[in-house]
Amino acid sequence: MKWIVSFLFVLMSVSAQEKMNVVLLTVDDMNADSLGAFGCPVEGTSPQFDAFAADAMRFNYAHVHATSCIPSRNIISSGKYLYNSGLEGFYQLPKDQVTFRTLPEVLQANGYFTMIRGKAHHSYPYVPYKRAFDIIFDDELKEKKLNIRQPKTFYDYTKKGVEAAKEADKPFFYSMDIHDPHTPYYGLIKKKLTPGLNKEDESNPPSRIFKAEEIVIPGFLPQTEKVRLEMAAYYSTVRRADDSIGNVIQALKDSGVYDETIIIFLSDHGLPEPFGKTTNYYNGSHTPLTVRWPGRTKVGSVDNDHMIGSVDIYPSVLEMLGIKQETGLDGRSFASILKGDKQDDRDYVLTMYEENVGGNRQPTRSIITKDFGYIYNLWSDGERKFASATKGTLAYKEMDRLAKEGNAHWKARLDLYNHRKPEELYNYHLDPHALKDLSESPEYAVKMQELRQALAQAMKASGDPLYSLFKERENEELIQAHLKKVDGESDVRKRDAAYSRSGRAKADKKKKQPSKTKKNKK
């Protein structure tokens, strides 16, 4: 009997060792075309990533479904669209409302050692989300007061995670976020938006610092010297993100697990500038999805055939690992594409937006194909004004300045950014920067109707609560009633959050006060 038990133990250990590890590696606020392998017009932004991409498979038509941090990341971890997970904005859910299992929970239940470093509070339904992770490295980083943007820490904590999994004798799932190139950018003081270093950057330079004269400003931003300065700082921060990417890859190699680890890389959304982050334009949702599945993905391959969404990552990981699929997911596995096969019905990606970090509700839906983007702005009524952190950028301030000085182009662009239109249509093949709205062009009337129908079908199939409103989009009274309702719900959340913060502040203050002992009274 003893020899049977021993044999089974050895068999289980061998099986665990043969299972692929998984690293989910994300960057913050990075445009896909900020990376060399994805066509960056600025030389030298990402030598480390480019080397990895040459050893992996990249997808040229991949998009995230939500273009702000918490909603986007929770779509990845839950495999559900934001209205099906309940996470539509920058808030958490009560524990008893989380009835679904996230990706790390499923992997943990199947024998995986689960870890997270970076954005632990932004990627899962409530805080702290300990039920899914064996280790949350964010706690240790905070306790040790380590600079989370320092590239060296990514080498150290990758190795540390691998060692912890080896000690547990389990394959691992490691969710890792690189905070760069999220603002503040390297070389640009956050509040003043003038050249200089923020405190966290003083001893943490990227391996290359870009000069303004080296920069190609994205076509959807003003071509001014101030924007050139801002973009130089952005690309320097992209380079520091690239330094961190290189350290993660090197640590996996030095730990001897690189060829035993599936690596999935993407950005949570586009760059934090107007018409990028928090919008449903191409530069808001396009993500540099790159996957290395050792022994399966063809080295240096590029997929130009399929539309892939970040909601597809969850089921893809399960299929790659041979784990039974969860029910109720909105995504669809693209594992077979990674092996070189084709899939039908991958003609578009559904994107969405509901609420920003300040709790402002701006419900939006979009259908993106390889060549076109159709956007439905339910909130756009000519009076409501778009709210976004990107309004604090030099680019937005330059848009505003140029508009006030009478520049007709930027006056129109500023008005569009602030108020939008109920419907917009762009030919991304000819106009990737969404500079010319075609929604009222007779030439594109058929395409407009085609994409309207595609959006309606996608909304209905996924259980989108805005589906009935989209069908009644000419009914202004109905639309305004919905906006009033969701605004009220957001106001309640904001009041509750403020009360919670106030309560914590009072509790913290009380802890710091000296106890009233007899000695103190004297």
In this structure, the answer to whether residues 330 and 371 fall within a common structural domain is no
Report the chain's C-alpha Rg in angstroms: 24
Decide if 391 is inside a domain: yes
In this structure, the answer to whether residues 119 and 181 fall within a common structural domain is yes
Strands (E), 5-124: 21-27, 57-59, 62-63, 113-117
Cβ atoms of 87 and 68 closer than 8 Å: no
- Closest-CA residue to 162 (of 265, 224, 93, 255): 255
* Chosen domain end from 299, 318, 347: 347
- Closest-CA residue to 85 (of 369, 517, 463): 463
Strand partners, 484: none
In this structure, the answer to whether residues 102 and 219 fall within a common structural domain is yes
Count of beta carbons in the 10 Å neighbourhood of residue 335: 19
Decide if 29 is inside a domain: yes
d(CA 196, CA 225) in angstroms, rounded, equals 16
Helix (H) or strand (E) holding 308: strand 308-309
d(CA 343, CA 348) in angstroms, rounded, equals 13
In 255-348, where does DSSP find H-type helix?
282-285, 313-321, 335-338
In this structure, the answer to whether residues 249 and 107 fall within a common structural domain is yes
- Closest-CA residue to 27 (of 165, 174, 149): 149
d(CA 422, CA 376) in angstroms, rounded, equals 6
- Closest-CA residue to 107 (of 380, 313, 383): 313
In this structure, the answer to whether residues 310 and 416 fall within a common structural domain is no
Count of beta carbons in the 10 Å neighbourhood of residue 373: 26
What angle in degrees, to the nearest 10, is found between the helix axes of 225-254 and 151-168?
A: 30
d(CA 407, CA 9) in angstroms, rounded, equals 74
Q: What pLDDT sits at residue 17?
A: 40
- Closest-CA residue to 206 (of 233, 230, 240): 240
What angle in degrees, to the nearest 10, is found between the helix axes of 313-321 and 69-78?
A: 30
SS3 of 426-467: EECCCCCCCCCCCCCCHHHHHHHHHHHHHHHHHHHHCCCCCH
Contacts of 396 (CB under 8 A, 6+ apart): 273, 274, 390, 417
Q: What pLDDT sits at residue 495?
A: 80
pLDDT, tens digit, 9 for 90 and up, residues 329-376: 999 999 999 999 999 999 999 999 998 888 889 999 999 999 999 999
Decide if 38 is inside a domain: yes
* Chosen domain end from 286, 313, 347: 347
In this structure, the answer to whether residues 317 and 436 fall within a common structural domain is no
CA atoms within 13 A on the CB side of 306: 24
Decide if 288 is inside a domain: yes
Cβ atoms of 309 and 63 closer than 8 Å: yes
Count of beta carbons in the 10 Å neighbourhood of residue 130: 12
Domain region containing 261: 19-347
pLDDT, tens digit, 9 for 90 and up, residues 137-195: 999 999 999 999 999 999 999 999 999 999 999 999 999 999 999 999 999 998 899 99
In this structure, the answer to whether residues 370 and 281 fall within a common structural domain is no
Decide if 193 is inside a domain: yes
In this structure, the answer to whether residues 327 and 359 fall within a common structural domain is no
Q: What pLDDT sits at residue 281?
A: 97
d(CA 167, CA 139) in angstroms, rounded, equals 20
DSSP secondary structure string, 159-190? HHHHHHHHHHTS-EEEEEEE-TTSSSPTTB-T
Q: What pLDDT sits at residue 187?
A: 96
> Could you tell me the CA-to-CA distances from 328 to 207, 308, 394 in Å, in that order?
44, 19, 43
In this structure, the answer to whether residues 61 and 193 fall within a common structural domain is yes
> What's the total number of domains in the chain?
2
In this structure, the answer to whether residues 342 and 429 fall within a common structural domain is no
Cβ atoms of 178 and 26 closer than 8 Å: yes
Q: Which two tokens stand for residue 512?
A: 């710091």
- Closest-CA residue to 355 (of 124, 93, 89): 89
> Could you tell me the CA-to-CA distances from 448 to 108, 351, 438, 452, 469 in Å, in that order?
45, 17, 9, 6, 18
Decide if 60 is inside a domain: yes
In this structure, the answer to whether residues 23 and 129 fall within a common structural domain is yes
Cβ atoms of 82 and 71 closer than 8 Å: yes
Most distant CA atoms of the chain, gap in Å: 88
CA atoms within 13 A on the CB side of 511: 6
* Chosen domain end from 288, 322, 347: 347
pLDDT per residue, tens digit, the chain (522 aa), is 444 444 443 344 334 446 999 999 999 999 999 999 999 999 999 999 999 999 999 999 999 999 999 999 999 999 999 999 998 888 888 888 899 999 999 999 999 999 999 998 899 888 888 889 999 999 999 999 999 999 999 999 999 999 999 999 999 999 999 999 999 999 999 889 999 999 889 989 999 999 999 999 999 999 999 999 999 999 999 999 999 999 999 999 999 999 999 999 999 999 999 999 999 999 999 999 999 999 999 999 999 999 999 999 999 999 999 999 999 999 999 999 999 999 999 999 999 999 888 888 999 999 999 999 999 999 999 999 999 989 999 999 999 999 999 999 999 999 999 999 999 999 999 999 999 999 999 999 999 999 999 999 999 999 999 999 999 999 999 999 999 999 998 888 888 765 554 444 454 555 455 544 444 443
Q: Output the domain CATH number for residue 241.
A: 3.40.720.10
Decide if 471 is inside a domain: yes
Decide if 80 is inside a domain: yes
CA angle 356, 359, 363 (to 5 degrees): 60
SS3 79: coil
Q: Which two tokens stand for residue 232?
A: 């130089």
SS3 109: helix
337 torsion bin: left (phi>0), alpha (psi -120 to 50), beta (else): alpha
Q: What pLDDT sits at residue 489?
A: 87
DSSP secondary structure string, 330-352? S----HHHHTT---SS-S-EEEE
In this structure, the answer to whether residues 317 and 202 fall within a common structural domain is yes
